[in-house]
Amino acid sequence: MSLLKNYFTRAIFFIAGDAAAIFLASLFSYLIINSVSDFAYPFPAISSLAITLLSITFLGLFKMYQVSWRFTSLRELMMIVNSLAVSSLIYLGFFFIAGMLTTFHVAFIALVFFQSILFVGAFRISKRMSKEVLKKPQLKKRAIVFGAGNAADQIMRDITRHRHWNLNIIAVFDDSEKLHGLSMHGIPVKGDRRRMYQFLRYSDVDELIIAIPSLPKPELKTVIEKVKGITPKLKVKVLPSFHLLSDDPVGVKNIREISIDDILGREPARIDLESIRSSLMGKTVLITGAGGSIGREIVRQCASLDAKKLIALDIDETEVFYIQKEFQNSDKCVEPCVANILDEERIDQLFEDEKPDVIFHAAAYKHVPMMEAFPDEAVKVNVEGSRVLASLACKHEVDKFVLISTDKAVNPTNIMGATKRIAEEICLSYNELCLTKFIAVRFGNVLGSRGSVVPIFIDQIRNGGPITITHPEVKRYFMTIPESVLLVMQAGEMGKGGEVFVLDMGEPVKILDMAKQLIQLHGLVPDKDIDIEFIGLRPGEKMFEELLQAEEGVLSTNHKLIHKAICGKVLSNKELEMMLASLNREMKYNNHEAIRGVIKQLVPTYTFNGEINGLNGNKKSVKELADQE
């Protein structure tokens, strides 16, 4: 009732305003004709009233009384023109048919038509003018925009329209020479990126908006590094590339702070989403370790790709609760499940009840130094947990079983990597025992995952430093969580069973460089505002991670970022079962050295030493190392 009342109140207000504008246009038209005519015509009150009523009627039929006053645009202006044109033509047509059409009527209606457009249009746009021009806010932040395309145009419109963004655009830059010297919304396009760098050196700027969603990641990285080198405290924001795939209007709300994946310069992978969707559509998918960074992203991606039902399994009830909360208002069927993958009876019943078609096995202990201290726990979860799930997948004839593996499984120097290599061996073994297709996918570190280096560095920066790094030459592979998960799912879709896929992680990143870039992202200067210390490699860590064993070859697939490792089984099914039984016996005695010995038999490439790469744990700062050199 209240909504209907508001509609009628607004309609009456606009009808009154339009009527006054049209009647005023009639009066002005009459005065103009009388001022240039030799004859003194009486004011055509009836004609003015008629044209006003006709115009109001057609403005209503063209739905002009349903348009928001604040957002009147060119589209609404055309509706006004059309409404007034139709009403003027009908008026003239009536007088023509009645045989009463005179030169005065034609001149009068023509003038009324054009002036009505001006007066009605001015009335309709008055609120927008007052918001965007007359009451221009006093903006505090001085900003420049890199990019003068459609995205930049929409962003600048949004900034003009909304005072709360608190931005004042003072210059625009673009690499296209044909745009130089022009202006956007009254702001000059001053030149290319080189001119932008010069501008930043001599001008007071608070914020840079990079409004080119198609800008390649390597170029974006170069721009950010150059800008931060000139003004470390400058806030840089970017428009993500996903807007290229969307018809939604771009606004300031879509701009985000630059993140570490922007400055790594890695181009996002191209994924065949339709093939993954077809492999999941209408199927029940079980995700173990669903509360972790990878597991939760798998849940999200499977939900967006139309899986019939998702079972989000994790031993951590808090994380399962958050998953349930995330999807509680969606139409996706996401069923939370708190369970331990070592509880064979419980998991067996779950398989019996839910009958999953696809399993993504992400549950694992992944923290390298922690698992060096508790190798028995790593064996329980990473090895025995994988065996339980694999055997039950065979028993219940699950279609596909995708193991999330790691680059640390290659020539492992730690328990975590070695146990994941055994999990791969279990998958290869069970692939020959039943109809289930077992697939393993290896990849490196993911940005922003729990326990990864990036959140740790960010916490250290917020606490004033120092940032602690194991060694100045340590390198790691990195990939974003969504990218790695989609590539895992793509590999799972491609797999026919018995494969170990390896994701192309690009070039390894030096951790020291990443730390410096993170410091710069926070507007600080490395070794000045935030110190960097080297603490030595921790137990089980390597200088460089590998994705393929030396004795393995690699085959290309139809996806350039997914490769297939040529790796056969080390042990027969019978030998593997015997070794796993031996490993379980040693577990009962909690003899860590004996456990490592059995693992060495299972994974011949596994090496474990107290001293790794001849490095100790002495702390040294960047400055001390530079002085030594």
Q: In CATH, what number is assigned to the domain containing residue 325?
A: 3.40.50.720
Look at residue 618 in the predicted model and tell me its pLDDT: 41
Dist CA 532 CA 466 (whole Å): 5
Look at residue 592 in the predicted model and tell me its pLDDT: 83
Strand partners, 414: none
**Residue 285, both tokens:** 């998918």
DSSP designation for 250: P
Does the structure show a pLDDT above 70 at 448? no
Look at residue 616 in the predicted model and tell me its pLDDT: 37
Mean pLDDT of all residues in 127-153: 71
Residues 6+ apart with CB under 8 A from 178: none
Residues 451 and 520 occupy one common structural domain: yes
Does the structure show a pLDDT above 80 at 549? no
Dist CA 408 CA 565 (whole Å): 15
**Residue 511, both tokens:** 């951790």
pLDDT in tens, 22-47: 888 778 877 887 777 666 667 777 77
pLDDT in tens, 462-473: 777 788 887 777
Torsions phi, psi for 157 (to 5 deg): -60, -45
Does the structure show a pLDDT above 50 at 583? yes
Residues 6+ apart with CB under 8 A from 588: none
Confidence of residue 387 (pLDDT cuts 50, 70, 90): very high
Specify if 626 maps to a domain: no
Segment among 418-427, 468-477, 572-581 with least mean pLDDT: 468-477
Residues 236 and 376 occupy one common structural domain: no
Report the candidate in 344, 293, 282, 332 with the shortest Cα–Cα distance to residue 316: 293
Does the structure show a pLDDT above 50 at 620? no
Alpha-carbon radius of gyration of the chain: 34
Residues 8 and 74 occupy one common structural domain: yes
Residue 549: exposed, middle, or buried by beta-carbon count in 10 A (0-12, 13-18, 19+)?
middle
Last residue of a domain, one of 106, 134, 162: 134
Look at residue 395 in the predicted model and tell me its pLDDT: 94
Distances (CA, A) of 331 to 1, 303, 357, 449: 31, 9, 20, 27
Specify if 615 maps to a domain: no
Residues 145 and 107 occupy one common structural domain: no
Residues 427 and 290 occupy one common structural domain: yes
Residues 165 and 128 occupy one common structural domain: no
pLDDT in tens, 236-253: 888 765 433 334 445 555
Helix (H, G, I), strand (E, B) or coil at 291: coil
Mean pLDDT of all residues in 421-432: 91
Specify if 74 maps to a domain: yes
Last residue of a domain, one of 230, 258, 286: 258
Look at residue 446 in the predicted model and tell me its pLDDT: 65
Residues 130 and 145 occupy one common structural domain: no
| Strands 553-556 and 562-566, sheet pairing | antiparallel
Does the structure show a pLDDT above 60 at 402? yes
Report the candidate in 20, 75, 30 with the shortest Cα–Cα distance to residue 52: 20
Mean pLDDT of all residues in 310-321: 92
Look at residue 392 in the predicted model and tell me its pLDDT: 95
Specify if 611 maps to a domain: no
CB 515 within 8 A of CB 469: yes
Dist CA 130 CA 456 (whole Å): 49
Return the residue matching tokens 């920066």.
461
Helix (H, G, I), strand (E, B) or coil at 602: helix
Report the candidate in 313, 494, 484, 316 with the shortest Cα–Cα distance to residue 389: 313
Does the structure show a pLDDT above 80 at 442? yes
Specify if 492 maps to a domain: yes
Residues 447 and 533 occupy one common structural domain: yes
Query: Where is pLDDT greater, at 580 or 41?
Result: 580
Specify if 267 maps to a domain: no
Mean pLDDT of all residues in 596-618: 66
Look at residue 164 in the predicted model and tell me its pLDDT: 54
Residues 309 and 162 occupy one common structural domain: no
Confidence of residue 342 (pLDDT cuts 50, 70, 90): very high
Half-sphere exposure of 279 (CA within 13 A, CB side): 19
Query: Where is pLDDT greater, at 627 or 199?
Result: 199
Return the residue matching tokens 């996706």.
332
Residues 6+ apart with CB under 8 A from 209: 143, 144, 145, 146, 152, 155, 237, 238, 239, 255
Look at residue 625 in the predicted model and tell me its pLDDT: 34
Can you give the pTM of this predicted structure?
A: 0.61
Does the structure show a pLDDT above 90 at 326? no
Query: Where is pLDDT greater, at 448 or 489?
Result: 489
pLDDT in tens, 260-312: 666 665 666 677 788 888 888 889 999 999 988 889 989 998 988 888 999 99
**Tally of structural domains, the chain:** 3
Dist CA 55 CA 112 (whole Å): 11
User: 295: domain range?
Assistant: 273-602
CB 76 within 8 A of CB 40: no
Residues 252 and 377 occupy one common structural domain: no
Highest mean pLDDT among 161-170, 320-329, 442-451, 570-579: 320-329
**Residue 90, both tokens:** 């009908």
| Sequential DSSP letters for 25-91 | HHHHHHHHHHHH-SS-PPP-HHHHHHHHHHHHHHHHHTTGGGS-STT--HHHHHHHHHHHHHHHHHH
Dist CA 445 CA 368 (whole Å): 12
Helix (H) / strand (E) element for 425: namely: helix 415-430
Mean pLDDT of all residues in 16-20: 79
Helix (H, G, I), strand (E, B) or coil at 143: strand
Dist CA 241 CA 212 (whole Å): 8
Residue 381: exposed, middle, or buried by beta-carbon count in 10 A (0-12, 13-18, 19+)?
buried
Look at residue 45 in the predicted model and tell me its pLDDT: 77
Confidence of residue 166 (pLDDT cuts 50, 70, 90): confident
Specify if 343 maps to a domain: yes
Residues 315 and 429 occupy one common structural domain: yes
Specify if 288 maps to a domain: yes
Burial 49-59 (b: 16+ CB within 10 A, else e): ebbbebbbebb
Torsions phi, psi for 442 (to 5 deg): -100, 135
Mean residue pLDDT of the chain comes to 78
Query: Where is pLDDT greater, at 542 or 518?
Result: 518
Last residue of a domain, one of 258, 284, 316: 258
Confidence of residue 629 (pLDDT cuts 50, 70, 90): very low
Q: Provide the annotated active-site residues.
A: 408
Dist CA 492 CA 279 (whole Å): 9
Q: How much of the chain exceeds pLDDT 90, in percent?
A: 17
- Strand segments, DSSP code E, in 423-469 are 437-442, 445-447, 467-469
Q: How much of the chain exceeds pLDDT 70, in percent?
A: 79
Look at residue 339 in the predicted model and tell me its pLDDT: 94
Q: Which amino acid is at 338?
A: V
Dist CA 136 CA 130 (whole Å): 8
Residues 347 and 492 occupy one common structural domain: yes
Dist CA 47 CA 26 (whole Å): 9
Look at residue 228 in the predicted model and tell me its pLDDT: 83
Confidence of residue 133 (pLDDT cuts 50, 70, 90): low
